[in-house]
Structure 1
Amino acid sequence: MTHDERDGRRSYSRRRLLGALGSVSVASLAGCGGTEISSSTPETVDEPDPTTGTPPAGGGSGRTRRGITFDRVVNAVDDLGWDPNGEAAIDESLDEDLQSGTLIEVPPGNYLVRRRHDVESLSRWGIVGTGASRRGVQFTLPAGRSFRWLMAHGGHDILIENFTMQQGRKFDRSIGMAFVIDRNLQVYNVEKAGSNPRQDSKSGAANGLIVDVTDPDGVAVVDTFVRKGPQDFAHYPGNAITVFTGRPHLGTVYYRNLHIENGGEHGMYASKCPGNVRVEGGLFKNNYGDGVRIAGEGSYVKGATVVIDENDRTPGNRGTWYGARGIHFQSGEYGYTGGLVEDCTVIARTSPGTEALLMMEHSQGAATVRNCRFYNDTPYRTILVDRPATNHTRPAKPWDMTFENIEISGSARNTAAFVMAGRSGSRLSNVRIDLPGENVDGIVLEDCAGTLITGANVLTGGYPLRVSGAAGGKGNCLATLEDLERLESSLLDDVDARRLASILSGATCIDGETANAFGVVRAADGHLYGNVLEGE
């Protein structure tokens, strides 16, 4: 890590505190985030819809872009003298010409930036590439350096669009951007390209993109941010997080259509912020740590694809890739509850280590997962829901989980499809599991009394259903089965299995009065057959 980045971290930490404590007072100054507005030029605050994050109609001509009206639009080369050949640095111009009300349009070319630029409480500004693609405009930095070339503190109505931050092929530099702003940040079609060094390299490493919205009613939109170059992998936490939203975030950020691949420390880390993080679509592939990490009510992952495949790695990598998780809910000492995963696909082909394709950690309370598909060919668990913590990371109640319309398939061996502990009163509806490989259990519940399993269709090589724990009194159930379709083991011999319960037309209660652990082998002839595993 360079001195530039270390100094930047100190400034960022200080700004976090100032942003959290001072956003209300700053915003009260003429309602403009501390920006002085000329009396002859009325301020335009034209934000995305606060519910959907969709930019308002307003055209892209004249001085209005994506709903933001600027006072002036300037050409970076013709008006500001930027060198498109990348020989003369543009830093002096950024200091002088990046002003409130200014949109800088950048023609195709390579532009050299030598240092970090702190943009303080500036509103209605933007930098937009005019090339036919984001590769048309490339911002580069000198070898041996790593920094956030744009570091915005405060302000609103900011537009960043259509360019590439280019790091080259030598693992000797790293560039990124950070926005800790009041509201209405819009980022479109931006890439962090090239090879990514590790933190302890001569250059250090910079995050790709940081977004924090400090106004609780504020919205930011990031649509199409790409990072997929080679990585010099270090042991955790020796690399830079690609996309990060942290503790200062109080508003709502929409991350749409991201392509984050081969990240050295998570694809997206956004789970310890009070605000909402909403991930829509996108591909997250082979990121060390988590593909996507969020937590809490108001946050979700919808329509995303997460891939873990050791045999399909990015060419040119260095170091050792230790493995990955898919989607992860975790909030540490904040103990958030709530959140949604919907219409997602998670694929794990091969990996040196994977805790789970979907993991709900002990610091996460209740959550909902629905209409999702999981393909697992590894010896690691597909879905893992931890028991709620008992220490300072204990999540807020409720703790029950809802899983609806879940499909799990693949050629996994020596693992379990669905493991959940300490989540009483949960609901599993239309869970279909097809993992007939050796020693694979299906639904495994521990201390989840009162959980309702509806419409299950489970084929595994081990026990399709395992239930254990204390029922909590006479008449209570370790689990209740309703509208059962199938419970079947492809490999377990059921000759010695005993009848555990009758399958009625309504619901079947697996109680803990005679034992506290059962393994179901099959459902047939109106009965459940299996083994008492413990406590008889």
Structure 2
Amino acid sequence: MSKKRTPDDRTVGDDYDDPTSVGDDYAGDEPGDGARLGGAEPGDDGDRAGGDEPDGDDGRLLDRRGYLKLAGTAAAAVAAGSAGATAAEGTTRHGIAFDRVLDAVDDLGLDPSGTEPVNGRLDDALTEGTLVRFPEGDYLFDGEFEVDADRVGVLGEGDVRFVPETGYTGFLFNYDPVPDDVLIENVDVDMRADGTTTGIRLRCRSRFHIEDVEFLGRGLTDNSGQVSAFLLGITDEDGRGVLRDAVAKKGSRVDGYAGGNGRIGVWVGWTNKGTVRIEGCDFREFGNNGTYSSRTPGQVEIVDSYFLNNNASNVRIGGEGSYVENCTVEVDFEKYTGPEIEDTGSGFGMRGVQVEQGVQLEGAESIPAGAAVRDCELVARNAPNGIALVNVSPQGRSLSVENTRIRTDVDGMWAVRRGRPGAIDWREWQETPPEPHWVRLEDVSITGSASGREAVRIVGADGSVVRNCCVHQSGSSRDGINFVDSDDGVVEDSTIDVTGTEVTFENSTASTSSITREGSCPLPDPEPASSGSTSDSEETEDTTTDETDDTTDDDAPTGPDGGLELVIDGGHTSDRIAYAFATDGTVDPGPRANENDEIDGASVEGQVEGGIDSFWVTGEFTAFEVDGDAEVRLDGDPVDPAELVVEETESETEESDGETDESSDETGESDGETDESSDDTEDSPSADDGDATDDGSTDDDTTDEASDAQTLVVDGSATYDRIDYSFTVDGSVAPGDRANESDEIDGSTVTGLVEGGIDSYEVAGAFTAFEIGADAEVRLDGEPVDPDELVSTARLVEVDGSHTSDRLAYTFGTDGTVEPGDRANESDAIDGATVTGQVEGGIDSYEVTGEFTNFQTDGDPVVRVDGERVDPDALDADADDLPHELVVVGDGAEASYLVETTGAVAKRDGGWGAEAADAADGAVASGTVADDRDTFGFSGDVVRMRVDGDASLTFRR
């Protein structure tokens, strides 16, 4: 992702981006000598309400409170022994004109040691037109500080920390009533003390500017109604507020949704009528959205920012004029650094970007349509419950997504979803938002290994378009584009390479043209934008290099002189970890370099503190030391620093082995071997069989297991592309004579890669899984084999009711075959590929092939597939058709029924499905039932039902 700052297209004042530090322009040796700042002329303050003013004065009569403030300031100066200090004259910073600049220590006598509270004196001093400069230090706040004057600001110079009292759980800054032209810049908010959570609430009339503010510590206090980090708003439709380079890497508990009352990164709500710009920020692990900025009649611009693991949405925006641009969003709970997650049932519908225009007040006008996402990188690797990386809610209107790369590896998680437009259940007075409801994707790449559902789901969205897009989803049963109740759609000039169906329609119409399965899709590069963090600023490492599509090595980043990327990752801890290394080649700063680390020729000394450093390196490592528990990666693979250091004799030995691939030499891999005799060696028995006699017999010491072993070869020597693979057997795996120590054998599962070379293993038993990312040749005992044909497709399905004496009924079906297992019960019925049975204190088992078409249970049996416990609902393919289920159960004698809904009904398949004589017509289900059951899916609400005879109706939602 480009790190070039997205231009702020609406500048406020001539020096909106003036970077001049206030302290840099003092002319004298001592602060407070009366020198001019920034070259501003008295009276040239840009105040929109003021006219010409006398030099050296703000030209206004002081009210009583202002007079008392000035008196208090003078008293503070005398008390501090600095009566001779004189406030510097005015300056303009970020478009805000200040009449005077006061030094917090020399002029106001504030305590920089964090012992004495600053609230009282700071309140007295911060009158209209005043900027208070804070020298380096800690400043204690003993409660909320009210901002109640125009053109005021606080500016830290150096390492400045504002520290609330231990146990404080309110706002650090709050507004009263609605000030204007407020600046907060270059301060850390230190809430690391136990039970302490705070935030900044600022609503201004036409302008505020907040920059370089970092929250230190995690908001862990009461998860109900927590104080959010920032609550912002502009009341003037033409006004503009900026939040720039704000950082909160430990927002709160990620499971702290608290029914919508948890801590938020940035809230922009209904009182905002202007534009709020969120720029260059870094928000992570908030329990209730990274930014909740969708329910505002104003505009929100979110640019150049990074978001990680914010629950339930990382970013939320509304309508016209609001957009997300050049941002990185990640969902990866392996990177979560907070307390143990206790509750994944509250709010855990993880989304990347959420679009909605829900009105906050009953009777308010709908927010205009027109939200946009462009030039973004969105990645979901691991989540307890993934919804979509781009999600348009029922209260959302139109959305355009352009030039954006999306990757999801979370099964069942959509890349893009347009929810059915409609009212929100818990706000019944909210009407369906007016049209348009379309979604338009252009130049969007969707990759990843997610299985199930479809990559893009578009519901109730007439006029939607997918153009010049690329979809490559390698997970099983994954469809491409799904239109539901949407007309006049367009899919054109796109690559759609999925394991399911490219484009599907449900009560929809769309034109399709120039659709192909050929081509490669660009991968996301989830590199966080620079955040200006005061801690080690690098965030989380990009691990997208294991993508198994057709992308070539030409797409991978490379450093100067073709170097490999070395990463030192301390993101899992806040401890300071020092390191040093040297090579006999070259070292250059990498994409995650830290300017504080020292590169001296080919030697480096540095440290990480809760972040990541990276370098481009060539040659062999001659030294490497790490003082702490950092993870070191070379070219994306974890490595042991001690094993990176190559002694001269080892280097000579490696050269004698015939390795010629430079990249293999650098990583110590054997994948680059080019010995012409290698094929003969690979195809022969392993080295353990070297004593075989001419008739093929082996030594008497050879075990039965060894005699059953076969030599598996993964041959990537035909290409220098990186080829990832993994396989599992139900027996044993041991390294072969061409094994690579960097490949991982975990029990009977292997994960590895070849890059211009060959790997080999000794395997015993049947293959239960085999995945390979490209067209490498696979040989078993010298014979080429198809990896797909190696895998036994039959799975063992167990329905376990041994934990109760209750009778638990079940039914399931597949699109393959079903055979009785070793725990089969002859009273259970197998009809083709459909099973109907029951357990009563015991276990039933079956051997099945194919995908499940449905799976339904009564009660709570434990269901296992190949020994792994699964949720039957997750196996029930029919459950995705309609959101609710109607079950009609007979009691012996024939009974008739009729059920009418406000939505649609459809028959369910399988042993409990409705029969041919039963009907699902539009919104009405009807039929007869005796000693069996009929099942339907339905949407909407039930408005009428009738039963003639003995039968029960059950509704499952």
User: Normalising by structure 2, what TM-score?
Assistant: 0.43
Deviation at 1:336, TM superposition (A): 4.3
- Alignment of 1:364 with 2:399, yes or no, is no
- 2:357 aligned residue: 331
Matched, 1:485 2:516: yes
C-alpha change, 1:236 and 1:33, in structure 2 (3 Å) is: farther
Task: Give, in angstroms, the shift of residue 148 of structure 1.
Answer: 1.1
Superposed counterparts of 1:366-515, under 5 Å: 366-379=398-411, 380-389=413-422, 392-469=430-507, 478-486=509-517
Measured in 2, the distance between the counterparts of 1:141 and 1:468 equals 56
For 1:228 and 1:66, the matched residues in 2 are separated by 26
SS at match of 2:387: coil
Cα deviation code 1:422-479 (max 9, x no counterpart): 1111111112110021111110001211111111211111112111205xxxxxxx11
Of the three residues 71, 77, 87, the one matched with 2:115 is: 87
Structure-2 change in CA distance of 1:43 and 1:295 (3 Å): farther
Cα distance, 1:168–1:399 mapped onto 2, change above 3 Å? same
Q: Following TM superposition, by how much is the alpha carbon of 1:94 offset from its aligned partner in structure 2, in angstroms? A: 2.3
Residue identity in the other structure for 1:400: W
Please state how far the C-alpha of 1:43 moved relative to its aligned partner.
Answer: 8.5
1:291 paired to 2:314 = yes
Residue number in structure 2 paired with 1:187: 210
Q: How does 1:101-500 map to 2 (within 5 A)?
A: 101-120=129-148, 122-131=149-158, 136-152=159-175, 153-168=177-192, 170=194, 172-200=195-223, 205-229=226-250, 231-232=252-253, 233-234=255-256, 235-316=258-339, 319-320=342-343, 322=348, 324-333=350-359, 334=366, 336-379=368-411, 380-389=413-422, 392-469=430-507, 478-486=509-517
Return the alpha-carbon distance in structure 2 between the equivalents of residues 268 and 220 of structure 1. 15
Q: 1:188 and 1:217, CA in 2 relative to 1: closer, same or farther beyond 3 A?
A: same
Q: CA RMSD in A?
A: 2.9
How far 1:293 moved relative to its partner? 0.3
Structure 1 residue 238: Cα displacement: 4.5
Whole-angstrom CA distance in 1 between matches of 2:103 and 2:352: 43
- Aligned-residue offset at 1:68: 2.2
Distance 1:189 1:61, change over 3 A: farther
| 2:259 partner SS | coil
Partner Cα separation in structure 1 for residue 458 and residue 464 of structure 2? 10
Letter of the 1:117 partner, please give it. F
Which residue, 94, 108, 127 being the options, matches 1:99?
127
One-letter amino acid of the structure 2 residue matched with residue 449 of structure 1 = D
Deviations 1:209-228 (A, max 9, x none): 11100010001111111001
SS in 1 for 2:420: coil
TM-superposed CA distance for 1:33, in Å, is 8.9
Give the unaligned 5+ runs of structure 2. Answer: 1-45, 61-87, 360-365, 520-772, 774-787, 789-814, 816-905, 907-920, 923-957
| Alpha-carbon distance in structure 1 between the residues aligned to 2:340 and 2:230 | 21
Which whole-Å CA distance do the structure 2 matches of 1:318 and 1:192 have between them? 22
Deviation at 1:64, TM superposition (A): 2.2
The 1:259/1:37 distance shift into structure 2, 3 A limit, reads: farther
| Amino acid across the alignment from 1:332 | G
Q: Which has the larger displacement, 138-147 or 312-321?
A: 312-321
Kept after mapping to 2: 8 A contact 1:440/1:461: yes
**Aligned-partner SS, 1:92:** helix
Checking the alignment, whether the CA contact within 8 Å between 2:207 and 2:240 is kept in structure 1 is yes
- 3-state SS of 2:391 partner: strand
Q: Secondary structure at the match of 1:403?
A: strand
Q: Distance in 1 between matches of 2:106 and 2:58?
A: 28
What is the Cα deviation at residue 191 of structure 1? Answer: 0.8
**Alpha-carbon contact 2:313-2:353 (below 8 Å) kept:** yes
Q: Which structure has the greater CA radius of gyration?
A: 2
Number of residue-to-residue matches in the alignment:
434
Q: Is the 8 A contact 1:335 1:394 kept in 2?
A: no
Structure 1 residues 453, 200: closer, same or farther in 2, change over 3 A? closer
Structure with bigger RCO (C-alpha 8 Å, 6+ apart):
1
User: What residue number does 2:825 align with?
Assistant: none
Task: After TM superposition, give the deviation of residue 36 of structure 1 in Å.
Answer: 12
Provide closer, same or farther for how the CA distance between residues 63 and 200 of structure 1 changes in structure 2, counting only shifts above 3 A. same
CA distance in 2, matches of 1:335, 1:444: 27
Q: CA deviation at 1:314?
A: 1.4
User: What's the secondary structure of 2:245's corresponding residue?
Assistant: strand
Cα separation, 1, equivalents of 2:103 and 2:244 = 24
SS in 1 for 2:321: coil
Q: Does 1:78 align with 2:106?
A: yes
Q: Answer whether contact 1:198 1:240 (CA < 8 A) is retained.
A: no
In the TM superposition, residue 411 of structure 1 has moved relative to its aligned partner by 0.9
Matched-pair contact (CA < 8 Å) for 1:332–1:393: no
1:522 matched to which residue of 2? Answer: none
In 2 relative to 1, CA 200–401 (structure 1 residues): closer, same or farther, beyond 3 Å?
Answer: closer
Structure 1 CA distance for aligned equivalents of residues 341 and 106 of structure 2: 42
* Identical counterparts, % of pairs: 29
Report the 3-state secondary structure (helix = DSSP H, G, I; strand = E; otherwise coil) of the residue aligned with 1:483: strand
Distance 1:399 1:230 in 2: 33
Contact 1:457 1:485 in 2 (8 A): yes
Q: Please report the TM-score for the alignment, with normalisation by the length of structure 1.
A: 0.76
1:487 & 1:421 partners in 2: Cα distance? Answer: 27
Q: CA deviation at 1:319?
A: 4.2
Residue 145 of structure 1 contacts residue 173 of structure 1 at CA under 8 Å; is this kept in 2? yes
Deviates more, 1:206-215 or 1:311-320: 311-320
SS of residue paired to 1:93:
helix
CA distance in 1, matches of 2:173, 2:125: 14
AA aligned to 2:118 is: I
Name the SS for the 2:111 alignment partner: coil
1:91-138 alpha-carbon deviations (Å, 9 max, x no partner): 111221111110000011111101112222x2111000011xxxx111
Structure 1: unaligned runs, 5 residues or longer: 1-30, 45-59, 471-477, 494-516, 518-533
* Equivalent position amino acid for 2:448 in 1: G
SS at match of 2:181: strand
How far apart, CA to CA, are the structure 2 residues paired with 1:130 and 1:102?
16
Q: What is the CA–CA distance in structure 1 between the aligned matches of 2:299 and 2:136, rounded to whole Å? A: 35
Structure 2: distance between partners of 1:61 and 1:347: 50
AA in 1 matched with 2:459: A
Q: CA deviation at 1:256?
A: 0.3
Contact in 2 for aligned 1:323/1:351 (Cα 8 Å) = no
Letter in 1 for 2:485: D
- Shift of residue 315, structure 1, vs aligned partner: 4.5
Contact 2:377 2:404 in 1 (8 A): yes
Structure 2 residue identity aligned to 1:406: V
